[in-house]
Amino acid sequence: QNGLSFLPRASSMSRADPSVARAAAPVQEPGRAAVASAYQRFEPRAYLRNNYAPPRGDLSSPEGVGPWKLRCMAQTFATGEVSGRALIDIGSGPTIYQLLSACAHFEDITMTDFLEVNRQELGLWLREEPGAFDWSPYSQHVCLIEGKGESWREKERLLRARVKRVLPIDVHQPQPLGAATTAPLPADALVSAFCLEAVSPDLTSFQRALSHITTLLRPGGHLLLIGALEESWYLAGEARLAVVPVCEEEVREALVLGGYQVRDLRTYAMPAHLRTGVDDVKGIFFAWAQKRLGVEV
């Protein structure tokens, strides 16, 4: 129906996302092997409860973290500059909210995650199966702030129709999607939320993972990146997962070194009432960056 017969059913490694997704870790290096091992205990439903149900999932206050993330995406896509045929969501995790504003601007969307359990969770929603997580409050909120008169059901229908595949990914590999991927490359845009910092044991690994995913993007293409600021761990059920703490300037430097022009970089300080004990995050960053022309694909 949505071309989702391709949804992977098995993978030798399974892995997750932190606020949206978590990419992967090769087993050669001890630090990344430990990351991959820890993610085997990642529980998508616990992660969704911790971050996308109230209080963090309460979208009624414009000051909340959910409305802030959705607003960053909606405002960036409203510029009309981020569009094209193919978009890849890097480390989707078990979440879809990060694509609600994107789906009107790209006809071919690839979702990805290291963990099979996250890819299965996405499949439930994409196929409208019983037990899928209810993203309708997010869809309704995006329709409200975009102000196009679109119904949330139409928004969700469009997103489901435009997600063409859900693939395994390992951002620590030079070819994150593998050599024989079915995703159209290079992509016109990349989206990634709470992935790179959550699967990297240190800042160097974070920078290298960014360079790996950049190979998937055409010169002049756009990257929209959401991530945690100054976070060192988060919980997803029984899993306690390490995060490399990054600050705003480290994110900016990584993007510039990675061959990007930083178009926008915003930060959000996590208010006390949203510090719920499921992590030690201090804030969130949103970056809109454009791959410089002349940077090799």
Q: Is 118 annotated as a binding residue?
A: yes
Burial track 270-285 (b if 16+ CB lie within 10 A, e otherwise): beeebeeebbebbbbb
Helix 116-126 vs helix 44-52: crossing angle, to nearest 10:
70
Q: For residue 214, what is the enclosing H or E element?
A: helix 203-214
Q: Minimal CA–CA distance to 270: which of 278, 279, 258, 282?
A: 282
Q: Is 50 annotated as a binding residue?
A: no
Q: Is 138 annotated as a binding residue?
A: no
- Amino acid at position 159, single letter: L
Q: Is 47 annotated as a binding residue?
A: yes
Show Cβ contacts of residue 176 under 8 Å, excluding neighbours closer than 6 positions: 23, 24, 90, 112, 169, 170, 212, 213, 215, 216
Q: Is 97 annotated as a binding residue?
A: yes
Q: Is 147 annotated as a binding residue?
A: no
Contact 188, 87 (CB under 8 A): yes
Q: Is 91 annotated as a binding residue?
A: yes
Half-sphere exposure of 76 (CA within 13 A, CB side): 31
In 130-169, beta strands by DSSP E? 163-168
Check residue 276 and give left, alpha or beta (phi > 0: left; psi -120 to 50: alpha).
alpha
In 118-181, beta strands by DSSP E? 163-168
Going across the sheet that includes 217-229, the strands are: 163-168, 108-113, 86-90, 187-193, 217-229, 283-291, 260-269
- Write out the binding residues for S-adenosyl-L-methionine: 47, 52, 91-92, 97, 113, 118, 170-171
Q: Which residues are annotated as a binding site?
A: 47, 52, 91-92, 97, 113, 118, 170-171
